[in-house]
Each structure stands twice: as C-alpha cells, then as structure tokens.
Structure 1
Amino acid sequence: MNAEPSRPPSEVAAHIQLRRCLLTVANLLAEGGHVLETITLPRCGLAKREMKALEARGTEWSVCRKTLEASAAGGINPEGRFVLTALGR
C-alpha cells in the first residue's frame, strides 16, 4: 500500500490561507459589481483605481492581494492590471 507523503504544516497552512483569500476576493469582486473572470482572464484584470476602490471600502483586499502575490497566485499583468496566475486560477 502506497501512502501519500504528508505535507509540512507550514505548507498546509499557506494552502488554506491562499484558498481563503481566493474565496474572499471572489466575494469582494461580486460585491463591487465585478465577475470572477475580471481577474482570471490574463488580459483583463483590475485597474489601479478599482483596486483602490476595494481598499477604500475597508475590505480585506490588501491582505489578500499581498497573500496572492507572495504565493505567486496573483500579480500585475503587462497592462498594469491585477490578475490571477495559473496557480491562482
């Protein structure tokens, strides 16, 4: 019987935090009148003014954005908009 190797606790915690952020961001987008595809399509994304609007609402956007960028699940595309990477999608 082959047992799947367990992940280190820090890796599991990071994975859980990333999943929570993705869920939070999806909810924030919906509340702001956006659809999830806004950040999942590489050529779309959130413009700086849209990100500032999310921050101004006192939301968890800033924390989630930092988490997504630190995990390489999100970042700024060549057009200067925030999008999810393949990892985040």
Structure 2
Amino acid sequence: MIDASPLASMQRSLRQCLSKMAALLYHHGYVLETVSIPHRGLERHDVAKLSSASSEWQTCERVLINSEAASWNEHNRLVLTSLGRELLFDMFGEGAADCA
C-alpha cells in the first residue's frame, strides 16, 4: 500500500529535490558539505549560476526553502536546515556529508 498522506508526499518531494541538488552540486564541482554544514553554504552568486544552468535547481531550491529544509544562513548563504540534513543523511548516510 502506498502512503498518500500529505506528509509522505512532502517527504518524497523533498527527497527528490535533495537527490537532484546533490547531483547538480557534484556536476558543478561542489560537495554535499557545501550545503550540509550550517556555517558554510552556497553564496548567492553560486546559487545564481546553478539556477542558470538548470531549471530543476530553481524548482528544488524553492521546494527546499518553502518546506524549511533549506534556508539562508547568517552569512547569506544557502544551507540545509536540520530537517534537510536529517533527510540527506537518511538518504546518503552521514558519512556522505558528515557535518561533525
């Protein structure tokens, strides 16, 4: 039986966006730690480059921010929130983007 609840649908969407984000970061020379470590993050000009390179990035960025899985940190850089990191580590394992 497939869980069609709004929460399950949101988690599926977030997981799809995190997966796409990870692939796009990799293809453009970044690592997951860029967005998984709260004091690092992607600067706005890097986000603009990724947005220009892929319309999928724009959609995923919007989904992640609207769901509060990503936000802009105090350095004005895009980072994953604790929700985004929890889902990321659940998907890829903490060793893939270890923020310890």
Q: Equivalent residues in 2 for 1:46-85 (5 A)?
A: 46-85=42-81
- CA shift for structure 1 position 8: 6.0
Over aligned residues, Cα RMSD in angstroms? 1.2
If the length of structure 1 is used for normalisation, what is the TM-score? 0.88
Aligned length: 83
Q: Equivalent residues in 2 for 1:6-45 (5 A)?
A: 9-45=5-41
Question: Any unmatched runs of 5+ in structure 2?
Answer: 86-100
- Tell me the distance in 1 between the aligned counterparts of 2:65 and 2:48: 16
Question: Any unmatched runs of 5+ in structure 1?
Answer: 1-6
Structure with greater proportional helix content: 2
Return the index of the structure with the highest Cα Rg.
1
If the length of structure 2 is used for normalisation, what is the TM-score? 0.79
Q: Which of structure 1's runs of 4+ aligned residues deviate more than 3 A? A: none
Percent identity, aligned pairs only, is: 36
Are residues 59 and 31 of structure 1, via their aligned partners in 2, closer, same or farther at CA, if it must alter by over 3 Å? farther
